[in-house]
Amino acid sequence: MNVHDLAEKLGLTVFSLPESDREAKGVYIGDLLSWVMGRAQSGQVWITIMSNINVIAVASLSDVACVILAEGVTVEDNILEAANQRGINLLGSEKSAYEIALELSGLV
């Protein structure tokens, strides 16, 4: 399923969607950026509560399909600009990482 369809189906908040046609293939949940950088795989949906600029760098290096910020986390303008510049799909949800992962089960 592509990221645009995923965002619609799950009712996610769209912060940045420059590559809406990226296919999502699996899920990775993590907040320790160095851990995510070494373990998240290309095309996965990354769920986190981290919202600093380094999330965009790690998402780019890991080549994830999108980042979903859980638990109502929001982002500042500089992070949105970086996400758009680097082609990072950035979404949000009020739900917990666990709840989001359950909804993604069977979709990606």
Domains and CATH numbers, the chain: 3-104 (3.40.1390.20)
What residues have CB less than 8 Å from 85, skipping those under 6 apart? Answer: none
If we measure between CA atoms, which residue out of 32, 14, 31, 22 comes closest to residue 92?
14
Query: pTM for this structure?
Result: 0.97
The predicted-structure confidence for 7-52, as pLDDT tens digits, reads as follows 999 999 999 999 999 999 999 999 999 999 999 999 999 999 999 9
Distance (Å, rounded) from C-alpha 45 to C-alpha 37?
13
Residue range 46-55, pLDDT digits in tens: 999 999 999 9
pLDDT for the residue numbered 9: 97
Q: Which amino acid is at 78?
A: N
User: Nearest-CA neighbor of 48 among 24, 66, 60, 26?
Assistant: 66
Mean pLDDT score of the chain: 97
